Amino acid sequence: MPEIPRLKNRIFSITSSKDFNDLAVEIFHFQYKNNIIYRRYVDNLGLNSDDINTPIHIPFIPISFFKNHKIITGNNSFDHIFTSSGTTGISTSKHYIHDLNVYEKSFRDAFTIFFGDIKQYVILALLPSYIERGGSSLVYMAEKLISDSNNPESGFYLDEYEKLRCVLNKLKTKGKRVILLGVTYAILDLAENFSLNFPELIIMETGGMKGRRKEMIREEVHEKIKKSFGVPQVYSEYGMTELLSQAYSNGNGEFTCPPWMQILIRDVNDPFSILKPNITGGINVIDLANIYSCSFIETQDLGKITANNTFEVLGRFDNSDVRGCNLLIG
């Protein structure tokens, strides 16, 4: 597939909406041609692929396809499989990764865009349920970021809350810049067991109660965490097993995408109709880093585009199917 290097090299050098739109359309035609499942889906919709020349007209594959199909663009080879967490009795998604370098480039570049040089930080990862099950794209990302920080104090924690509290206290005393990355229920457990006034701490919740706690609205979660740690805001990450890119919020509930990722909002009653800003609907994700699987995914999340081109996540279509993504009910 001679198109791959040419397309891949452009993903992380997007500087304008025209760059994004042109590449999105090119990747659509590339994936339509080389992804059997996606081509069947588009054909079954009765669409003529030759008529699609703008992102707003690109069909989005339902995210549930990752549970029942092998979504691969190209020669069917893969280096790695990421799996969603799922819940008891719920089938899990599988994301077949052809080239882990693309994923690593995506999360490293996004980190630099939103937070700067990773070597300035100590990275602490509180991801107990993800580490326990294996196959998590989040754990893979955290592991690489911990390594990239090149700081001996960076590391993973399971439910070692007392040890983590001591580490945080020591890092605060040293004046270190710290990012605490954690699944929401674990950060809440930490916040309810200990308090530490550390306003410089960046707390990044990755969402999900995973059946460990009752669902809570985002504002309630963030208030508890802010009170315990004395931080002015709680950051959030929006990502999922089926994507290779993440959006970030700096505490106001509005997420910003990196240049190679974009959110569209569809009408829940007419999934092929895209809504204007400030109207709630289903979240569609364009993730150009997903060049080897499918870059156009119709999620089961509800949200809206805000006036300043960020987006909010407002809930799920079905609370019983909690995937490996960042989402609280809000």
**First-residue to last-residue Cα distance in the chain:** 43
Structure tokens at 99: 């080239």
List, in order, residues 6 or more apart from 186 with CB less than 8 Å away: 126, 127, 128, 129, 159
pLDDT recorded at residue 328: 38
Q: Where are the domains of the chain?
A: 102-243
The model's pLDDT over 64-103, given as tens digits with 9 standing for 90+, comes to 999 999 999 988 789 899 998 765 456 789 999 999 999 9
The model's pLDDT over 126-155, given as tens digits with 9 standing for 90+, comes to 988 777 777 899 999 999 999 999 999 999
| Residue 315 to residues 203, 221, 258, 308, Cα–Cα distance (Å) | 21, 14, 22, 21
**CA 129 from centroid of its chain's CA atoms:** 17
Amino acid at 314: L
- State whether residue 68 is helix, strand or coil: helix
Quick one: fold of 102-243?
A: Rossmann fold (3.40.50)
**CA 47 from centroid of its chain's CA atoms:** 29
The model's pLDDT over 234-287, given as tens digits with 9 standing for 90+, comes to 999 999 999 999 999 988 889 999 999 999 999 999 989 999 999 999 999 999
SS (H, E, C) 88-151: CCCCCCEEEECCHHHHHHHHHHHHHHHHCCHHHCEEEEECHHHHHHCCCHHHHHHHHHHHHHCC
- Asked whether 20 and 58 are in contact (CB, 8 A), the reply is no
More confident residue, 312 or 315: 312
This prediction has a pTM of: 0.91
The model's pLDDT over 92-138, given as tens digits with 9 standing for 90+, comes to 899 999 999 999 999 999 999 999 999 999 999 998 877 777 789 99
List, in order, residues 6 or more apart from 279 with CB less than 8 Å away: 265, 304
Nearest to 243 by CA among 321, 317, 146, 138: 138
